[in-house]
Structure 1
Amino acid sequence: MFVDQEGADPNFTATGVVTGNRVTVTVTGEVDMSTADAMLRAATVDGAAAATLDLREVSFFDSAAIHALLQLADRYGEALLVHPSGQVRRVLEISGLSTQPWLSAD
């Protein structure tokens, strides 16, 4: 299954692929108050018990994005894996979330 949450913002895409019970969402561009919900929707598909969020191509990540990420952490718990870009990692460090178990070390 393939889910694309490309919206009106040309600097953003959130594309999800479901394999078994895991959804893998690749996000590019800017995740902010106008796009965070699309990222959340792409990662919360019916039947998915686990999620991988690839944020390595994200150039901007604000408080709305953090809120969406925390909603995903609540939903998936230990079954969430997040691969951050340098920018996303920096925002998570500043917000005190850099030691979360779902945050990949790569």
Structure 2
Amino acid sequence: MFVDHEGADPNFSATAAVAGDRAVVTVTGEVDMSTADAMFRAATKDDAAYATLDLREVTFFDSAAIHALLQLADLYGERLRVLPSSQVHRVLEISGLSAQPWLVSD
């Protein structure tokens, strides 16, 4: 398990757990320019073939977070699944990214 609390938001965390060949990364709090890299590192640390990024507890998602997410999408391709919070889904919708195949809608 990998936990990163480097960000300025004390409520931010990015925790990765690997099950088989899938990394499941649970992210909480604000993902911004001070924490987006920690989210990316948590999702790539274990060299898993597949990744699920659980963003259901994310309260803020800015352009740096979008950039990190797009880097993960480039890295994993169709092997990435993203579970967004309503805030993340809204940001991705505004950004024109809500129809991406990696975005899992309820």
Q: Using structure 1 for the length normalisation, give the TM-score.
A: 0.95
Partner of 1:27: 27
In 2, the alpha carbon distance for the partners of 1:19 and 1:47 equals 12
Number of equivalent positions: 105
CA RMSD of aligned residues (A): 0.9
**1:97 aligns to 2:97 (yes or no):** yes
Q: In the TM superposition, what is the alpha-carbon distance from 1:47 to its structure 2 partner?
A: 2.9
Q: Which runs of 5+ in 1 are unaligned?
A: none
Q: Identity, % of aligned pairs?
A: 73
In 2, the alpha carbon distance for the partners of 1:98 and 1:31 equals 18
One-letter amino acid of the structure 1 residue matched with residue 25 of structure 2: V
Partner of 1:52: 52
Partner of 1:38: 38
Q: In the TM superposition, what is the alpha-carbon distance from 1:22 to its structure 2 partner?
A: 0.8
In 2, the alpha carbon distance for the partners of 1:11 and 1:46 equals 23
| Contact persistence 1:23–1:45 (CA under 8 A) | no
Q: Which runs of 5+ in 2 are unaligned?
A: none
In 1, the alpha carbon distance for the partners of 2:12 and 2:105 equals 24
Partner of 1:3: 2
After superposition, what is the alpha-carbon deviation per residue over 1:74-99, rounded to whole angstroms, capped at 9, x for unaligned? 00000000000000000000000000
One-letter amino acid of the structure 2 residue matched with residue 3 of structure 1: F
Three-state SS of the structure 2 residue aligned to 1:23 is strand
One-letter amino acid of the structure 2 residue matched with residue 73 of structure 1: A
Q: Using structure 2 for the length normalisation, give the TM-score.
A: 0.95
